[in-house]
Structure 1
Amino acid sequence: MPPGLFVTGTDTDVGKTYVAARLAERLRGEGRTVGVYKPACSGAEVFHGEPVWGDVEALRSAVERPVAEDDLICPQRFVAPLAPPIAAAREGRTVDAELLTTAARRWADRCDVLIAEGAGGLLCPLALPEDGPAVTVLDVAAALGYPLLIVARAGLGTVNHTLLTLAVAQARGLPVAGVVLNEIDAREREVATNAAMIERCGGVPVLGVIPPGGELPEALNGSLCRPPVSIN
């Protein structure tokens, strides 16, 4: 597998896809051949009878891949805006737990850096096998072995959410590249104190703040991407 980064978040709708797509564009601007991978995606809009997944569209556009490669970017997609195993059940399907990880290997000879993105937070269940425990985003991130970039809201409540996410990652032994705060709501102004508290209590760097709809901090660049490591 090429070097890469796993973009996760403290919750759903914190801007993971926005960060992953903008980072992929930045890396392409540096002359890199970039792959993008989302193990599973749920929640589609239907246009002219065809489902369209916004996350997949954003990632594909960032690396300028054809629509025919949606299976390469996200091999398991479900329509209902629910956790993937529940959305799959609504369609009479199940999530293939093994494919969540093995499908990423399809990028091995197609790119020199891979940006992977989870769904929801680290403990979000992606598969519920009948003969084993639930497979979470954390499990997939550990299997891929890339450092984590944690996307968190910039405002009130983010310190607790971010420290909980860090605790889960660190308990599993996952390397953490850092945290980026996303100003989803421009009215939230306690960004500086939140960043300082996360760094002090969490022991990881806050790499910057993204203003609403703005550019990524300069610290979010190719230096964050590392070869995969084995996580027990």
Structure 2
Amino acid sequence: MSKSLFITGTGTDVGKTYVTGLIVKKLREGGRSAAYHKAAMSGNERRPDGSLIPGDALQVKTMSGIEQPLEEMCPYVYETAVSPHLAAKFEGNPVEMDCILDRFDHVCRSYDYITAEGSGGILCPLRFDEQKIQLEDFIKARSLACLMIADAGLGTINAVVLTAEYMKARAMPVKGIIFNHYEPGNPLHEDNRRMCETMTGLKVVACVKEGDTELDIPLELLEELYEENGGTEK
């Protein structure tokens, strides 16, 4: 049975996709059958033929070197750089939960380690009209373990603790934290790491420095963050 991990962030632009690319690369280079999934992504460019390029998926595929076809990675791709629920109001094609789960299950049947990336922070809505679909609905539908990505700099204590407390209250298990843009020896960054661990009870499992091309974590520890899928694989 495949194993999965859901990647969330403390907000937009904390480097969630970049870190996800390093995670998937680590698995692939360790000889693991690795794949990527993102339910919905916004702010994408168009090809000359007018079709949309799933930019985050392309970045992860390029960074990691996985052979998974790009068209398998993301069911919903929007051009407008806003939350998916609002992009769908502008462009049509609103998110359907059955489609997300079917596409995710398809990936799970083909690969052993699936890294599922969220859109924005944990509260980013996927759909908000007559239907309301949140990221946590997808997480709970497949009983996914979660990993939080946070910027190492100013403001991260508040963002990390609030995200952790919300996820705990909503029964979304968080396995740990990865700090991005981390500067070893920076007193603020080192204190943020210590304070976030103390205030959340979560371990900072890795720190990513600017320009890193490898994730500084043992492969065995990374694998332990993944858990068998709790949902239905058809």
Normalization by structure 2: what TM-score? 0.88
Q: Stretches of 4+ moved more than 6 A in 1?
A: none
The answer for the alignment partner of 2:58 in structure 1 is 57
Root-mean-square deviation (CA, aligned residues, Å) is: 2.2
Deviation at 1:144, TM superposition (A): 2.3
Q: Distance in 1 between matches of 2:65 and 2:210?
A: 22
- Determine the structure 2 residue equivalent to 1:70: 70
Q: Is the CA contact (8 Å cut-off) linking 1:14 and 1:184 kept in structure 2? A: no
> Scaled by the length of structure 1, what TM-score is found?
0.89
TM-superposed deviation, 1:53:
2.8
CA distance, structure 2, for counterparts of residue 224 and residue 158 of structure 1? 22
The answer to whether 1:98 aligns with 2:98 is yes
Is contact 1:40–1:76 with CA below 8 Å preserved after alignment?
A: yes
Checking the alignment, whether the CA contact within 8 Å between 2:124 and 2:134 is kept in structure 1 is yes
Q: In 2, distance between residues paired with 1:53 and 1:171? A: 32
Aligned to 2:34: 34
Aligned length: 226
Unaligned runs of 5+ residues in structure 1 are none
Classify the secondary structure of the residue corresponding to 1:46: coil
Equivalence for 2:203: 205
Conservation of the 8 A alpha-carbon contact between 1:60 and 1:73: no
Query: Whole-Å Cα distance in 1 between the matches of residues 47 and 187 of structure 2?
Result: 38
Distance 1:143 1:57 in 2: 26
SS at match of 2:13: coil
1:53–1:34 Cα change, 3 Å: same
Following the alignment from structure 1 to structure 2, what is the Cα–Cα distance between the partners of residues 142 and 70? 25
Could you tell me how far 1:49 is from its partner in structure 2? 4.8
Which runs of 5 or more residues in structure 2 are unaligned?
Answer: none
Q: Identify the residue that residue 2 of structure 1 maps to in structure 2.
A: 2
After TM superposition, list the pairs within 5 Å mapping 1:48-197 onto structure 2.
Answer: 48-50=48-50, 51-61=52-62, 62-65=64-67, 69-130=69-130, 132=131, 134-183=132-181, 190-197=188-195
The 3-state SS of whatever aligns with 1:18 is helix
Output one character per residue of 1:167-195: Cα deviation in whole Å (capped at 9) or x when no partner: 11111222211001111799x75111001
Kindly, what percent of the aligned residue pairs are identical? 32
Contact 2:150/2:177 (8 A) holds in 1:
yes
| Alpha-carbon displacement from aligned partner over 1:108-162 (angstroms, at most 9, x marks no partner) | 32111111100001110001241x4x21112212222221110001011101101
Give the Å deviation of 1:12: 0.9
